[in-house]
Amino acid sequence: MLFILLCIQVVVTVPALSEVTPAPPQNIHVEKWLLTWTPATEERDVTYTVQYQSFDTSVWRDIPACVHTSFTSCNVAFSKAESKHGCVTLRVQAERRGLTSTPVQACSRHGDSCTPEVSLTARPGSLTVFLSRNHSLAEEYGDHVTHRVYYGKEGESLEEKYKETLSSVSFLGLEEGQRYCTRVQYVRYNEAVGTRSCPQCEVIPRTKHEPVQTEVIVGVVVVVFLVLTPVIVYILICHRGRVKQWLRPATCDIPDFLLQPYPEHHMLSSPNSPSEERYDVISFITPEEVRGQLQLPPPSAPAPPALG
């Protein structure tokens, strides 16, 4: 009886499971026109179909070689010839017993003529996405081709928040220590074209709070002020008399002899007094050469003595 009940349960359960929509494929990447993906489950009865959207239309078409295939890769070079500039958007969907999963778009890990070249730089509170304006689409369409940059925290959907820009862009006010991801795709006349870039993620670094010399000095001054202020207030209030005594100017005694008048005779007899100076006046100086040339008269004879 128990065996019969188990068989009935299996018969009822299997059709119910087959009616569940299959999970979409994961990790869909394209590189050099080889598209690869990863099955979401290990079920064997799941097949996959690859579709492309050309540059000038919004219609999705099947790639003939990749319809209801059980493989996890597909050569999509056929789609390149079907679109201008070889720019196509690719997607893959899982199928099982007529039920189709949500299609998932492919991404490219490397930039090419239809996929932007992307690099990231993270700083405290910000993330900069570096992009180039020098690409083949810009040569033909100029500023009518822009970059649509999606961004968000890791694990969030990269479909809601984005910015459109011609070149590099920075996102500010991000949470430090969190991991943020970006994805970029070309946009022409407000329509996304080409294969989008694969998500790239960076951790926003935290601001380094290193002690600065100025901060240390300010801290020391504050501590000293808080310690000395109560001491100074106590001294001024409780020992005001001593403070006044300390601040009173010091007195000195002048010797008595310095206060007596200076004797007048000492001033007159001073050897340095100009009135006591003695000197001889030289009235005439004759040079030695001139002296030899002068003829002086012979000395006169003494007068004869007078007779009695």
* Residue at 190: amino acid letter: N
Cα 259 versus chain centre, distance = 78
Which pLDDT tens digit goes with each residue over 45-56? 899 999 998 877
- The pLDDT assigned to 144 comes to 87
| Angle formed at CA 230 by CA 224 and CA 235, multiple of 5 degrees | 120
Distance CA 61, CA 11 (A): 38
Q: What are the structural domains, with CATH classification, of the chain?
A: 20-108 (2.60.40.10), 119-203 (2.60.40.10)
H helix intervals, 34-128: 77-81
Token pair, residue 104, equals: 């998932």
From the CB of residue 189, how many other CB atoms can be counted at a distance below 10 Å?
Answer: 9
Q: What pTM, to 2 d.p., does this model score?
A: 0.57
Which parts of the chain have pLDDT scores under 70?
1-18, 81-86, 209-214, 243, 249-308
Distance CA 197, CA 90 (A): 12
Strand duo 104-105 + 89-96: pairing: antiparallel
- The pLDDT assigned to 192 comes to 85
Which pLDDT tens digit goes with each residue over 147-192? 999 999 998 888 888 999 988 999 999 999 999 999 999 988 888 8
83: three-class secondary structure by DSSP: coil
* Residue at 286: amino acid letter: T
